[in-house]
Structure 1
Amino acid sequence: MKKYLLWCLGIGLLTLGCKDKGVSSKSNEAQTPNIVLFFVDDMGWQDTSVPFWSQRTAYNDLYQTPNMERLAKEGMKFTLAYATAVCSPTRVSLMTGMNAARHRVTNWTLHKDKLQPMETNHKTLQFPEWNVNGLSPVASTEKAVHATPLPQLLKDAGYYTIHSGKAHLGAIGTPGADPLKLGFDVNIAGHAAGAPGSYLGAENFGNGKQGKEVWAVPGLEKYHGKDIFLTEAITREAKLAMDSALEKNQPFFLYMAHYAVHTPIMADSRFVQKYYDKGLDSTEAKYASLVEGMDKSLGDIMDYLDEKNLSDNTIILFMSDNGGLSAVARGGEKHTHNKPLSSGKGSAHEGGIREPMLVKWPGKTAPNSITDQQVIIEDFYPSILEMAGVKNYTTVQPVDGISFVPVLSGSIAQGERPLFWHYPNEWGPSGPGIGASSSTRVGDWKFIYYYIDGRMELFNIKEDIGETKNLVNEQPVKTLELAKILSDYLRKVEAQIPSQKVTGDQVAYPDEVLNSRNM
């Protein structure tokens, strides 16, 4: 034990970030709950028949997600849940409890040691050498954030940990690309890439496509050549993995991370015809079928828990990794698929970061309850550990997230705190809120700073959910207040900032820009 504690202390001194809470242990106060984290890829706040606003919209009537409705009736709905604007930063925050500004995996990962082409080819900004290799459980991986992954702590506490679906946590050839090296006992179909080569078993889920090998979904060979959709295959394998946990008499943590509803937008033949019949264009009908297929998987998992008499002792969390795709690849007008929210995936506006979130904890959450408590993706890390009864755990990284467990009882509300987003990168497409930026939300107010030109936006989200009226000029005091909160945070966590290509100078912090204007 002494050797272990000395080792942890040494690691902490080396990394300057060891959050020492003692040795990992598990509370024995009650029966250990199973935990299912149902994590959807690119699902927008409006991609569901469950309204997460004060009123229903046309999108809530278009999409059919009866099992999300079922989960909402049995648990708590979060109307102000946030992730980041693109996938890898969110997933690394989930697995580490760190804000993206601190862990520096600020864009989507794939190829080892390489910035994205849209970053290296940018005309005016020089982007920082962010952690392109993603998350790593070992300190020696360069250009990666070294952290103690969430599943490792759960595994150490006696959980049977199951990864199913999309991983997208580390670049090809790095430890973080393999979920088995991050604390998962089982890996179903997870690897470095963030999208499937194909959703169709008849197309071997992309395996065998020349030049597209990087996107081929691994490990599902038993379904190759068969008429089965990827969402269904992953669900079946997840149920088998839960069977293994029961055979081992272990509580399980199921990370059900579907590739759906990410591109390529392909028809799930079980559901698509009804959307064609409604008159949707081909792309949007296929997209709706992806959504409904994802929802069927949720229902299958809930049915499994019922059949195995596990429902009363299983926590289910539902979340998406970023806002719904709208800038590219969709049918109809761009940047409108998440209305009333502005923009979509890749954007600092609400459409890019605001997510559908549900939590069911039998005996804790009141059925059909709603909270407007603001939460952000890094909060899942300490929350899930608290749900699991894991106490006195040690991490090599600082944990920024705050547990939302007290909120679930409905009797305790967290105080107001700033939320932060940091994207010193280039995504590619253009549109409202898209581009290198940093932002904060404090109460009802949201401030966004764009690195390319120093432009700023200030919105009152409660009064203007669509971010239609920029109040920077009308509210100079509030603008400066939030600019300073954001700037101080970026300095505190030593966030990476883009530089000007011509001069090589780092772009100024937002409070510096405002102070210079007022001189």
Structure 2
Amino acid sequence: MISKKGILSLLVLFLSPQVKAQDPPNIVMFLVDDMGWQDTSEPFWTQLTELNKRYRTPNMERLAKRGMKFTNAYATPVCTPTRVSLMTGMNVTRHKVSNWTNYEKDQRSDYPDSTIMQKDWNWNGLSAVPGIPHTIYATPLPAVLQKAGYYTIHCGKAHYASNGTPGADPLQVGYDVNIAGHAAGHPASYLPEKQYGAANKSHGVPGLEEFYNTDVFLTEALTRKALAALDKTRKPFFLYMAQYAVHVPLEADKRFYQYYIDKGLEPAEAKYASLIEGMDKSLGDIMNYLDEKQLTENTIILFMSDNGGLSLAPPRMKPAHTQNLPLKAGKGSVHEGGIREPMIVSWPAVIKAGSVTGTPVIIEDFFPTLLEIAHASKARLVQKTDGRSFLPVLKDANVKQAERVLVWHYPHRWIPNEGPGLHYFSALRKGNWKLIYDQRNEKLSLYDLKTDIGEMHDLAAEQPAMVKVLAKELTAYMKERKVVMPVHTLTGKPVAWPDAL
């Protein structure tokens, strides 16, 4: 005879949502803007640093405890290339949206340079429609998921393409709902009393009138809108939560700002730290929602940043409000400070809690991973992809995937002023070796990331055989994807291929 306690247990089991192996999970892609590898209290290195101690990100810590932390995760040096790679599975050398897109179409965002210039690239961004000049035509991730039965929600920063092209509107790339996404790369303001910069035609955040002149900071407003959208669906959902934070302008989130001032941070640093903590609260609010709705077990949350934090602040290149030490440089650079990112994935039904992996992954890997998770790997795509699924790693942090190369290509001048490692570079990582190609000076540098994560010791002169091998691989990778190298403006000759040096 079953006891009352036993009957109650069976009733709870019967009434609770059960996860079946064949059930496609809900997906939350949480992408932060301009967040550096060290801008969190959750360390992504072998040790807790003083920079980690600066910030409070309890929900990143909570997510890491629930899931898997990636200590070798990479994006691209700037925002739009990362977002296009995420949406298409293509490496930047293939999609050629190699710099951020301007708000207005047909306006190049790269600054003129007196000695070198990239003549042609896809400066209008991503398009799901063929025939749009200077765009990459591709089948975007949300369109594939939508066709697979997902309810697709975009919330926050889009910046896939320039205004006046189809890709500027998230509804044209496969989302059922668009909250505040358009062609701009940052908000005019985070502040409700400034109506989130609505008076600014290009960078005012659209669609948030209900929060004007309240006390609701932009990060919070977006989170509330996202959760309200989730309440309207019973399908498996794909929420692309792309916070505008922590991109400039530096404006204090008053909920957290005073704590950092009291801690002794300079005002600019305190404002930045408050943006970080507000972003972290957004992550926590989404996790709480999933817990309350009993959706956590079969929802995968992927946390990532689109490029490194600023190391120098344009336009005068003064020291920025953040830093990436011990990594070298920052946003705009192919050095580790510009491309290595904090990444966490939680999926309790599959991932062992508190696991850590050193497997190198790059932003285009998210595309095939999510298609495999959503049972949509056989979807027809118009593009050839470069990413590799890391689902085997999620299932077992110790799994060994075949060694491959990771490649970055940034043939542009990011800012008007000079900065260390910020203009005209390509790079390749294979194992622990990192090869950097200075296109302007046609010079190769080599680093061993296992012993020199800060890229302080160039080993090119000591390891000429390794330089030769990696230069050959970098060249082959770029040629296969039909890369057109920049030209020297004085001679009109293209920059040499790495293996020609």
**For the superposition of Structure 1 and Structure 2, which TM-score range results when normalised by the shorter chain?**
over 0.9
Instruction: Report the Cα offset of residue 391 of structure 1.
Output: 3.3
Distance in 1 between residues matched to 2:282 and 2:28, nearest whole Å: 12
Q: Indicate the residue corresponding to 2:436 in structure 1.
A: 448
Q: SS of the residue aligned with 1:414? A: coil
Q: Indicate the residue corresponding to 2:17 in structure 1.
A: none
Out of 82, 107, 112, the residue aligned to residue 105 of structure 2 is: 112
Q: Indicate the residue corresponding to 1:439 in structure 2.
A: 427
Out of 57, 62, 73, the residue aligned to residue 65 of structure 2 is: 73
Instruction: Report the Cα offset of residue 175 of structure 1.
Output: 0.4
* CA deviations over 1:66-100 (Å, ceiling 9, x no partner): 00000000000000000000000000000000000
Q: Indicate the residue corresponding to 2:385 in structure 1.
A: 399
Instruction: Report the Cα offset of residue 271 of structure 1.
Output: 0.1
Instruction: Report the Cα offset of residue 451 of structure 1.
Output: 1.2
Q: Is the 8 A contact 1:141 1:174 kept in 2?
A: yes
Q: Is the 8 A contact 1:283 1:331 kept in 2?
A: no
Distance in 1 between residues matched to 2:59 and 2:264, nearest whole Å: 24
Percent identity reads: 56
Q: Indicate the residue corresponding to 2:51 in structure 1.
A: 59
Q: SS of the residue aligned with 1:45? A: coil
1:301-312 correspondence runs (5 A): 301-312=286-297
Q: Is the 8 A contact 1:85 1:322 kept in 2?
A: yes
Distance in 1 between residues matched to 2:149 and 2:319, nearest whole Å: 49
Q: Does 1:424 align with 2:411?
A: yes
Q: Indicate the residue corresponding to 1:293 in structure 2.
A: 278
Q: Indicate the residue corresponding to 1:499 in structure 2.
A: 487
Which amino acid in the other structure matches residue 107 of structure 2? K
Distance in 1 between residues matched to 2:321 and 2:344, nearest whole Å: 25
Bigger shift: residues 334-343 or 123-132:
334-343
Q: SS of the residue aligned with 1:391? A: coil
Q: Structure 2: 5+ residue runs without aligned partners?
A: 1-19
Distance in 2 between residues matched to 1:333 and 1:196, nearest whole Å: 22
Q: Structure 1: 5+ residue runs without aligned partners?
A: 1-27, 514-519
Instruction: Report the Cα offset of residue 496 of structure 1.
Output: 2.4
Q: Is the 8 A contact 1:379 1:404 kept in 2?
A: yes
Q: Indicate the residue corresponding to 2:473 in structure 1.
A: 485
1:222-261 correspondence runs (5 A): 222-245=210-233, 249-261=234-246
Q: Does 1:87 align with 2:79?
A: yes
**Could you state the TM-score of these two structures normalised by the residue count of structure 2?**
0.93
Q: Does 1:36 align with 2:28?
A: yes
Out of 198, 202, 206, the residue aligned to residue 214 of structure 1 is: 202
Q: Is the 8 A contact 2:309 2:322 kept in 1?
A: no
> How many residues were matched structurally?
478
Q: Indicate the residue corresponding to 2:165 in structure 1.
A: 174
Change (3 A) 1:39 1:336: closer
Bigger shift: residues 326-335 or 256-265:
326-335
Distance in 1 between residues matched to 2:110 and 2:323, nearest whole Å: 27
Q: Indicate the residue corresponding to 1:320 in structure 2.
A: 305
Bigger shift: residues 32-41 or 145-154:
32-41
Q: Indicate the residue corresponding to 2:13 in structure 1.
A: none
* CA deviations over 1:261-298 (Å, ceiling 9, x no partner): 00111100000001000111110000000000000000
Q: Is the 8 A contact 2:145 2:371 kept in 1?
A: yes
Q: Does 1:359 align with 2:345?
A: yes
Out of 336, 340, 353, the residue aligned to residue 326 of structure 2 is: 340
Instruction: Report the Cα offset of residue 32 of structure 1.
Output: 2.1
Instruction: Report the Cα offset of residue 302 of structure 1.
Output: 0.2
Q: Does 1:127 align with 2:118?
A: yes
Out of 129, 133, 149, the residue aligned to residue 142 of structure 1 is: 133
Superposition RMSD in Å = 1.5
Q: SS of the residue aligned with 2:412? A: coil
Q: Indicate the residue corresponding to 1:5 in structure 2.
A: none
